[in-house]
Structure 1
Amino acid sequence: MILDLSMWIWLPLALAIVFAFCHQIKPSLALLGVSLVGGIIEERLNITGLVFLTVGLFIAYKTPNLERKWQIGAYLFIFLWCVALFLHLIPGFTNAKVLDAVITGPQSIPFSMYLNLDKPFIFFGLLLAYPTILGSKATFNKKAIILTSIPLFSLLPIAWGLGALQPELTIPNWWWLFALNNLLLTCVAEEAFFRGFIQQSLSKRFGWITGVAIASLLFGLAHIGGGLLLVAFAALAGVGYGLAYHYSSRLWVAVLFHFLSNFAHLVFFTYPIMK
Structure 2
Amino acid sequence: MRRGISTWHLLLGMGLAGYGLALSFGHLDALALPWLGLLLIAAVAVHKSSRQDLQITGHLLFIVMTAGLALHLLPGFGNAAILQHVRNAPDTVPYSLYLNLDKPLIGLWLLLACPWIVGPYALRQAAASVPAIALATLAVCLGLAWGAGWIAWAPGLGPAAALWIASNLLLTCLTEEALFRGYVQGGLTRQGGIAARCALPASALLFGLAHAPGGWPWILLAGVAGLGYGIAYRRGGLAASVAVHFIVNLAHYGLFSYPMLVR
TM-score, structure 1 as length reference: 0.85
8 Å Cα contact 1:63/1:71 also seen in 2: yes
Aligned match for 1:61, one of 44, 52, 58 = 44
SS in 2 for 1:153: helix
SS in 2 for 1:164: coil
Match of 1:263 in 2: 250
Superposition deviation, residue 207 in structure 1: 5.0
Instruction: Using the aligned pairs only, state the percent identity.
Output: 34
Aligned match for 1:188, one of 174, 190, 214 = 174
Superposition deviation, residue 166 in structure 1: 1.1
8 Å Cα contact 1:105/1:170 also seen in 2: no
8 Å Cα contact 2:79/2:100 also seen in 1: yes
Q: Distance in 2 between matches of 1:193 and 1:50?
A: 22
8 Å Cα contact 2:134/2:248 also seen in 1: no
CA deviation map 1:146-165 (0-9, x unaligned): 44333311111221111111
Match of 1:237 in 2: 225
SS in 2 for 1:69: helix
Of 30-39 and 75-84, the range deviating more from structure 2: 30-39
8 Å Cα contact 1:46/1:92 also seen in 2: yes
Of 260-269 and 39-48, the range deviating more from structure 2: 39-48
Q: Distance in 1 between matches of 2:159 and 2:209?
A: 32
Q: Distance in 2 between matches of 1:243 and 1:128?
A: 24
Question: Residue 231 of structure 2 aligns to which amino acid in structure 1?
Answer: L
CA deviation map 1:56-102 (0-9, x unaligned): 12321231323113222221111221222111121111200001222
8 Å Cα contact 1:107/1:168 also seen in 2: no
8 Å Cα contact 1:191/1:251 also seen in 2: yes
SS in 1 for 2:56: helix
Q: Distance in 2 between matches of 1:28 and 1:143?
A: 27
Question: Residue 88 of structure 1 aligns to which amino acid in structure 2?
Answer: H
Tell me if 1:164 matches 2:150. yes
SS in 1 for 2:259: coil
8 Å Cα contact 1:145/1:243 also seen in 2: no
Superposition deviation, residue 141 in structure 1: 7.7
Query: Structure 1 residues 172 and 24 mapped into 2: Cα distance closer, same or farther (>3 Å)?
Result: farther
TM-score, structure 2 as length reference: 0.88
Match of 1:132 in 2: 116
8 Å Cα contact 1:219/1:238 also seen in 2: yes
8 Å Cα contact 1:170/1:267 also seen in 2: yes
Aligned match for 1:151, one of 120, 126, 136 = 136
Match of 2:3 in 1: none
Match of 2:212 in 1: 224
Question: Which consecutive unaligned segments of at least 5 residues does structure 2 have?
Answer: 1-5
8 Å Cα contact 2:82/2:98 also seen in 1: yes
SS in 2 for 1:105: coil
Superposition deviation, residue 114 in structure 1: 0.2
8 Å Cα contact 1:57/1:124 also seen in 2: no
8 Å Cα contact 1:216/1:239 also seen in 2: yes
8 Å Cα contact 2:200/2:230 also seen in 1: yes
8 Å Cα contact 2:168/2:246 also seen in 1: yes
Superposition deviation, residue 190 in structure 1: 0.6
Superposition deviation, residue 27 in structure 1: 4.0
